[in-house]
Amino acid sequence: MKLKSILPISVLFLSQIYFAQETQKKETDKEKEIEAVTITKTKKAVEQKADRTIYDFSEQPHLNSGNTLEGLQKIPGLVVSEMAGMIYQGKALDVYMDGRPLNIYSTQLTAYLEGLPANSIEKIEIITQPGAEFPATSGGAIINIITSKNAKSYLSATYAGGYRFSNYDHYRSKFNNSLTLNSKNKWFGWQLNVGQNYNESETKSTIDEISRLYNDNVNRNQYLRSAFTFDIGKDRLLLNYNLSLGSSDRYVDRFELIKGIESTGKDIIDQSNTRNEVTATYQKKFDDKNKKLEFKGSYTNFSNDFGQTKMDFSPIPAFQENYLINGSSQDAYNFRVDYAQPIKVLDEGKLSLGAYYDQLEFSADLFGIENLDYKSKTTAFYSEASATKGKMDFVLGLRGEYYNINGTSLDFETQTYDKLRSFEKFKVFPNASIQYNIIPKIAFFNVNYNKKITLPNVANLNPNNTRYESENINFSGNPNLQPTIFDNFEIKLSALNYAFIGYNFTNTKNQVVQIVKREGDAISQTSDNLDRLKTHNFNIGFPIPLAVFNTPFKDIMKMDMNPDQVSFIFLYGSYQLQQIDQIINPKGYWTYNISGQFILPYKVKFNANYTYLTKGNEFFFYPNKSFYNTLNLSLSRKFNKDRMTLTLFANDVFNTNETNLRTTNALPNVYIRNKNDTRSFGLSFNYKIPTKNKLAKEAPNMLNQEKKEETSTTL
């Protein structure tokens, strides 16, 4: 078949997917009428909405076979960078879990996501256009990791486990286990999810040939997530408690070159953290399902302890000493109320109102002496109206937020406490969206604008080194960072859930960036504000069903194109250009992703995912080789009446993924190389323990309650 025929047939493929889903829904309704116990539901692998893209993890073995971080890295357009954080289609992501901000960052966030098995994730929402109902501090975009399952009217259980290994200088094991129990009765419902993760890994780091480090890492994580829901008349009360315990041991072989003298030694790093979270939600029910009143309050505590001991071998052997001991603790309180009701405007409309209060208290200490006390308070009110006229949808919102940020930091040289640069302001954040439904439910075109802000995160504020320190390497934060302001613009054309083309532009003030400098044989890294940054991002995604190459057109017309049952290739590409005043000739970079799904005999599903980033500026870093270059493969099959899913997988098959870059902010350039043991092989499986109760019916989600509107999630 000629290549020019692929485009129209791909469009037909999208249409067939849509009508297949609609037909299946009607058939399901029919089944309900004939036999009440037979309920069939097909989840969409990818679902695009006007303000977000949703990726289903629960039924996608190639995404949920490893840990959560590995699953996220397989999403087209999502890049996890050691220097720049988590970025999706050119936008920095604020990380939420079950509708609430995690408030952990940098290496601590990476460790947390690596310790969370991907098979405990229900779905991922990437909200590229957060409206007025979302905190203005969400910045450019939000990634919401939803871990909830469905509670049922009988005791049900699901076990998930996995094992993988890497084999570089020696064999390393990585495994995880989790168990989910849930039930409900006429008084209340409950759910309990417990799990653990164990991960052995290695990292090799080189900086300017004056520092070479070999890290042997052992990470452990245990977690508990619980939920209770109580029906109070027509209303509902939800209570959640989550606990996460993490620990990491690192054994570092060190080589240093200081003033021409070589030094070798061994360091031991012991790091542990604890996260507690309590949430209460009260939902008022109305006869009109489009009307809503909800109250939500939560408290989160996250504490971290870091210790580093060192022993020198040469040039002069030394005794083991406590080289670095520090810790931090943060408490976050927030409360919000949301109200929504239909309004008579144009064909139909809705008005949303709400208020929000958030308070963050963060303290850090070095060798037991407090050297940072940071407090942030945010009070907000919002109003957002949406309306429909014919094929046009309109959204207009306004959010006002008042900030009060202050604190003190210790100057060890003068032994005095200095006040931080305070930030006490009231700011207004508008958002607007216009969508034209070219073909209702099939194709639409939208234009979006929003203004957002990001407050400095505690990882960038913390003056202590919570990574690694030696005679010539130092990592530290900057307590005087200022908030970052974003103006986000986007236009996008989408067809169903699989094809899209878009462009977004972000004008940023006070962007927080990592600054690496070398003075003599000393390398330092800290955070600073960048005056201005403009980011352009163009992206496109398109599926190609393999049937177009070997099936006559008339037969394709007859096919039931359920995306979970056909073989196809998904192509994704994006181009990003960052314009910074300090860089005269900035170079953009391309991201290419090819994802393939192939249905093999005996209902075996083969998935392949390849991502490659070309060279280009990323803030003040320029790669010596690709920022990201990896191929991931998986084979999966369902057994025992689809109750068990077994997956075999291989990550970074050709061992090509590494960080290899140079700095561009100052001379001399600093060359940095980090290589992790990203090539790994393993298996994972999920097993839904069967029940004899055939009259069971699904009840609402408990660990995360979504809004009644299909396009929005309660935060």
Token pair 């194109």 is at which residue? 561
Average pLDDT over residues 29-35: 40
pLDDT surpassing 80 at residue 702: no
ω into residue 586 within 30 of 0, thus cis? no
Domain that holds residue 691: 46-700
User: 244 pLDDT band (50/70/90 cuts)?
Assistant: very high
| Rg (alpha carbons) of the chain, rounded to whole number | 26
Buried b (16+ CB within 10 A) or exposed e, 107-127: bbbbbbbbbbbbbbbbbbbbb
The length of the chain in residues reads 715
What lies within 8 Å, CB to CB, of 33 at 6+ separation is none
Pairing of strands 621-623, 141-146: unpaired
Average pLDDT over residues 138-159: 72
So what's the pLDDT on residue 33?
A: 40
Backbone angles phi, psi at 336, to 5 degrees: -145, 155
Distance, CA of 647 to CA of 635 (rounded, Å): 6
pLDDT surpassing 90 at residue 97: no
pLDDT surpassing 50 at residue 655: yes
The helices-and-strands tally (H runs, E runs) of the chain is 6, 37
- Euclidean distance between the first and the last CA atom of the chain, given in angstroms as a whole number: 49
SS (H, E, C) 308-324: EEEEEEECCCCCCEEEE
12 lies in some domain: no
498 lies in some domain: yes
CB-neighbour burial class of residue 477 (10 A; exposed 0-12, middle 13-18, buried 19+):
buried
24 lies in some domain: no
Q: What is the pTM of this model?
A: 0.82
The DSSP letter of residue 457 is P
Distance, CA of 545 to CA of 2 (rounded, Å): 14
So what's the pLDDT on residue 490?
A: 92
Average pLDDT over residues 540-557: 69
Closest by CA to 608, choosing from 119, 165, 76, 161, is: 76
78 lies in some domain: yes
Q: CB–CB of 429/401 below 8 Å?
A: yes
Tens-digit pLDDT profile for residues 110-121: 777 877 777 778
38 lies in some domain: no
**Across the chain, what does the average pLDDT equal?**
83
CATH number at residue 354: 2.40.170.20
Tens-digit pLDDT profile for residues 503-514: 999 999 999 999
Tens-digit pLDDT profile for residues 273-309: 999 999 999 999 888 888 999 999 999 999 999 999 9
Backbone angles phi, psi at 422, to 5 degrees: -75, 155
Tens-digit pLDDT profile for residues 308-354: 999 888 888 887 788 899 999 999 999 999 999 999 888 899 999 99
The dihedral through the CA atoms of 66, 69, 73, 78 has a sign that is: positive
pLDDT surpassing 90 at residue 476: no
List, as one string, the DSSP characters of 592-620: EEEEEEEEEGGGEEEEEEEEEE----BTT
Alpha carbon separation from 702 to 119, 152, 188, 229 (Å, rounded):
18, 10, 11, 7
Q: How many separate domains does the chain show?
A: 1
pLDDT surpassing 70 at residue 711: no
So what's the pLDDT on residue 498?
A: 74
So what's the pLDDT on residue 26?
A: 44
List, as one string, the DSSP characters of 229-255: EEEETTEEEEEEEEEEEEEEEEEEEEE
Higher pLDDT, 549 or 679: 679
Q: CB–CB of 294/335 below 8 Å?
A: no
The dihedral through the CA atoms of 626, 112, 61, 646 has a sign that is: positive
User: 563 pLDDT band (50/70/90 cuts)?
Assistant: low
ω into residue 543 within 30 of 0, thus cis? no
